[in-house]
Amino acid sequence: MHTLDSRFEGSWINGSSFAGNGDPWEVINPADSSVVATLTLATPADVAYAVESAHMAFQTWSRTVPAERSALLHALARRLEERAEEYVLVESAQTGKPFRLCREFDIPGSIDNVSYFAGIARNAEGKASTEWVSNINSSIRREPIGVIGSIAPWNYPLQMAMWKVLPAIAAGNTIVLKPAELTPLTALMLAQDCTHVGFPDGVVNVVTGSGPLAGEALVSHPEVAMVSFTGSTKVGKRVMELATAGIKRVHLELGGKAPFIVFADANLEAAIHGAVAGSLINSGQDCTAATRAYVHESLFADFVTGVNELFAQICVGDPQLDSTDIGPLVSIAQRDRVHGFVERARSQGATVHVGGESPSEKPDGVEGGAFYPPTLLTGVGQHWEIVQEEIFGPVLVVLPFNSIEEGLALANDTPYGLAASAWTQSVVISERAQREINAGTVWINDHIPIMSEMPHGGFGGSGFGKDMSTYSLEEYTRIKHVAVDVTGEVKKDWHRTIFRDNFPEA
Ligand code: NAD
């Protein structure tokens, strides 16, 4: 397995590697439990140093022109292309993702994000400057906000870092990012590469630390002007409470429980393939993964048979092998958590068609990993936890429905609203699904694809705020109204409200 060189001590602050003053921390490869890197965690004082560095850097970075920021982002994209294979190795080692997923999705997707933000850094749209009131010309200044405190999860470590860092710095902010402590390495490589290509010291800082210590210190720091968080709904609530106390702008990308609705007229084969790919991507550790399939009763039995057959053929194994379809979960703890959901559903009477075996059974030839097989359940109730709560593993539940209204109502019946898909060949059903599904992304006849140009973000328990697209760039700016008197007169018309007609002589 790839081991990281010794440049990383724990954090990257003010343009240099920085050994934190906290506890030692091992980054573990969940495919074989080997140690990938040993770091030192950041303490709240270390986080404060990072925020101060970002605050200092903001004074000059916020005055750079968009073309300057864009040129550095273009240079960063080229640097990432040169190091792409190294990113693949490290991303896979810290997460257990198959090389294939890293090579075809995580790393190219991240590079595309950088190129995209290099482009839109030079695009600031807004209202026309005009005289809304006589003799006063109004215009809008779009300004960076300040130091952004960002916290990211472990499921797509590099992509999540990109979604936080890129719009922030493209808009002229500086940032302190706390990646998940399980998977900090590619975020550290990103910060290192930002320094390498010429971003000034302090513009991009990464602190590796625990959520309760480093995360809360970051969110609460008075110099942090905006908090952007991606992670679970539970932690998101805590982050929002802390940010509210400091009256900070908040951006929350939280959990999901995406429905996958197969209407009676759907192309069944396409839906079966879509459900397998959409539920198993990244071993199901995807906030938009298909987790609840609602299938019209006329197709239900054939859908279950089809998914069952394909699930049984999925190769769970060594992330380095081309023959591997899905790797392990991110940790033994996550594997046990996922298995707990399956066991509780089984004890409530669910039917487990495939998978759901004791997690101590390992795929052939792989020892010590956090593997879990694709698992398909039916016979579950809409209000069971396995249907309502985020599992974050390769587990799909299938429930029947018998009318369009019922399918849409069941799909909307969780606290989440991140993503959903509808499978139909009818224009009318497709339009109804687009209108009535309560989710930030609605796919029709597909499930999962994302693109840099379009926003990603949820409603309700899935949070608010958008990642990627021009919408995210806007979120990392503040709007200032500037109103300028165009007359040069001493006595303005509206001063009558104070002086009536008795203007004193100047
Ligand atoms: P998590 O909420 O446990 O942790 C996320 C981050 O928060 C980590 O960096 C963690 O260290 C930090 N953290 C934990 N406690 C904290 C605290 N008290 N204060 C501040 N920070 C704290 O989530 P996870 O298990 O790392 O990731 C999985 C979750 O992320 C899932 O719920 C998934 O849906 C969500 N997610 C959402 C999106 C999206 O775009 N909506 C994308 C990816 C992942």
- Contact (Cβ atoms closer than 8 angstroms) between residue 415 and residue 439: no
Verify whether ligand 1 is closer than 6 Å to residue 253 (CB atom).
Answer: yes
Rounded to the nearest angstrom, the distance between the alpha carbon of 415 and the centre of ligand 1 is: 17
User: Quick one: the chain helix, strand, coil %, rounded to 5?
Assistant: 40, 20, 40
- Contact (Cβ atoms closer than 8 angstroms) between residue 225 and residue 54: no
d(CA 192, CA 126) in angstroms, rounded, equals: 34
Verify whether ligand 1 is closer than 6 Å to residue 475 (CB atom).
Answer: no
The yes or no reply on domain 258-444 and CATH 3.40.309.10 is yes
Beta-bridge mates of residue 463:
253
Query: Any idea of the CA torsion for 430, 436, 439, 443, to the nearest 10 degrees?
Result: 0
Chain centroid, CA 312 distance in Å = 30
Verify whether ligand 1 is closer than 6 Å to residue 228 (CB atom).
Answer: no
Tokens representing 451 are 């693109």
Chain centroid, CA 460 distance in Å = 16
352, HSE (Cβ side, Cα atoms, 13 Å): 20
Domain regions of the chain by residue span: 13-254+462-481, 258-444
Say if 13-254+462-481 and 258-444 have the same CATH topology: no
Residue carrying structure tokens 């482009």: 119
Verify whether ligand 1 is closer than 6 Å to residue 230 (CB atom).
Answer: yes
Chain centroid, CA 461 distance in Å = 15
d(CA 329, CA 183) in angstroms, rounded, equals: 13
Ligand 1 atom at minimum distance from 181 CA: 11
Q: Whose CA is nearest to atom 13 of ligand 1?
A: 211
Question: What pLDDT tens digit does each residue of the chain (506 aa) get?
Answer: 444 554 689 999 999 999 989 999 999 999 999 999 999 999 999 999 999 999 999 999 999 999 999 999 999 999 999 999 999 999 999 999 999 999 999 999 999 999 999 999 999 888 999 999 999 999 999 999 999 999 999 999 999 999 999 999 999 999 999 999 999 999 999 999 999 999 999 999 999 999 999 999 999 999 999 999 999 999 999 999 999 999 999 999 999 999 999 999 999 999 999 999 999 999 999 999 999 999 999 999 999 999 999 999 999 999 999 999 999 999 999 999 999 999 999 999 999 999 998 777 777 777 789 999 999 999 999 999 999 999 999 999 999 999 999 999 999 999 999 999 999 999 999 999 999 999 999 999 999 999 999 999 999 999 999 999 999 999 999 999 999 999 999 988 889 899 887 777 65
State how beta strands 224-230 and 290-296 pair.
unpaired
Rounded to the nearest angstrom, the distance between the alpha carbon of 112 and the centre of ligand 1 is: 24
Amino acid residing at 339? H
Verify whether ligand 1 is closer than 6 Å to residue 215 (CB atom).
Answer: yes
Beta-bridge mates of residue 479:
142
Tokens representing 240 are 């929002």
- Main-chain dihedrals φ then ψ at residue 249, nearest 5 degrees: -70, 140
Determine the angle formed by the axes of helices 268-280 and 300-313, rounding to 10 degrees: 50
d(CA 33, CA 371) in angstroms, rounded, equals: 11
- Contact (Cβ atoms closer than 8 angstroms) between residue 493 and residue 138: no
Query: If you ran DSSP here, which 8-state letter would residue 393 be given?
Result: S
Verify whether ligand 1 is closer than 6 Å to residue 20 (CB atom).
Answer: no
Q: To test ligand 1's pocket by mutation, which of 11, 151, 210, 467 has the most ligand atoms within 8 angstroms of CB? A: 151
* Contact residues for 28 (Cβ-Cβ < 8 A; gap 6+): 34, 35, 36, 182, 331
Q: Which of 63, 62, 91 is nearest to 168 (CA)?
A: 62
Query: If you ran DSSP here, which 8-state letter would residue 456 be given?
Result: B
Residue carrying structure tokens 């400057």: 129
Chain centroid, CA 399 distance in Å = 28
Q: Which of 419, 387, 414 is nearest to 400 (CA)?
A: 387
Q: What is the DSSP string of 173-233?
A: -EEEEE--TTS-HHHHHHHHHHHHHTPPTTSEEE----IIIIIHHHHH-TTEEEEEEES-H
Amino acid residing at 477? T
Ligand 1 atom at minimum distance from 178 CA: 9
Beta-bridge mates of residue 28:
35
Identify the CATH number of the domain defined by range 13-254+462-481: 3.40.605.10
Q: To test ligand 1's pocket by mutation, which of 230, 242, 253 has the most ligand atoms within 8 angstroms of CB? A: 230
d(CA 219, CA 55) in angstroms, rounded, equals: 14
pTM exceeds 0.85, yes or no: yes
Verify whether ligand 1 is closer than 6 Å to residue 458 (CB atom).
Answer: yes
C-alpha gyration radius of the chain: 25
Chain centroid, CA 293 distance in Å = 23
Ligand 1 atom at minimum distance from 467 CA: 40
